[in-house]
Amino acid sequence: MQQIEKHACFGGWQEVWTHESHLLNCPMRFAVYLPPQAKERKVPVLYWLSGLTCTEQNVITKSGIQRYAAEHGIMIVAPDTSPRGESVADDAAYDLGQGASFYLNATQSPWCNHYQMYDYILHELPRLITTHFAANERKSISGHSMGGHGALVLGLRNPNDYVSVSAFSPIVSPSQVGWGQKAFTAYLGDDRAAWQQYDAVALILQGHDKKAFLVDQGLDDPFYAEQLCTQNIENACQQMHIDAQIRYHAGYDHSYYFIASWIEDHVAYHAKQLQRSIE
């Protein structure tokens, strides 16, 4: 591991690190915000997954999340969105390849050599965090857009690993929309049964349950109707009697202006659930 950034921030430290990932077969970067409470004790972790074209930088420079993490004593860990490097498969389009992992384990060549982001987020990265930082075993997960999709899928499939889940503008039905169909065909092939394991709506309808579940969606988001389809997850939750909080906000779009406006709510939401998990 090598530290490549360190900045004092709200009494704690915003750091960026790089390491060699054995799962992804390439160097990976991640950001970690260490709240002031981490100087005295181990603290819970909120993992943040960013969206298409993003890196670990987006959330730490645009959302203001550190202020609220410092208030609640939560560590924020934000990995890059995909493996990267000259040896890593890529595509000229923004919605496939580097920066567009869709947080799954690819099975198709050439993607399967590096694109194992599901296992990286679930297993390798948390082991790294608890080994090298003042993190306890309690963790939650959130994300935006493609990252919101990743957070929902990881949370739904692994309810014992994540205390709570939230998302901004998530791609809730990737197997039903253009972004997801393109990525899933490339990464997973034509087996639509495999697609269902990375589709939050399908997982809910299969019976996967997550009690702590918050989604925020801007109604002026240009991707809302064709790519995000937030109503699908609301309908699935109603059908399966899941009491999810799904909120719609007039005037807000897909940008980090939207995220910055509501990130305080999400951090507080996770803080409450993380505290409840030890009571």
Sign of the CA dihedral with 127 first, then 128, 130, and 135 last: negative
Sign of the CA dihedral with 231 first, then 150, 137, and 5 last: negative
254 is catalytic: yes
Which one from 21, 101, 140, 145 is the annotated catalytic residue?
145
145 is catalytic: yes
114 is catalytic: no
Residue among 206, 138, 213 nearest 170 (CA): 213
Which one from 80, 90, 199, 221 is the annotated catalytic residue?
221
Which one from 208, 254, 266, 270 is the annotated catalytic residue?
254
Q: Which residues contact 191 (CB under 8 A, 6 or more apart)?
A: none
Cβ(262)–Cβ(245) under 8 Å?
no
Peptide bond into 126 cis (omega under 30): no
Grouping H, G, I as helix, E, B as strand and the rest as coil, residue 126 is helix
The residues carrying an active-site annotation are: 145, 221, 254
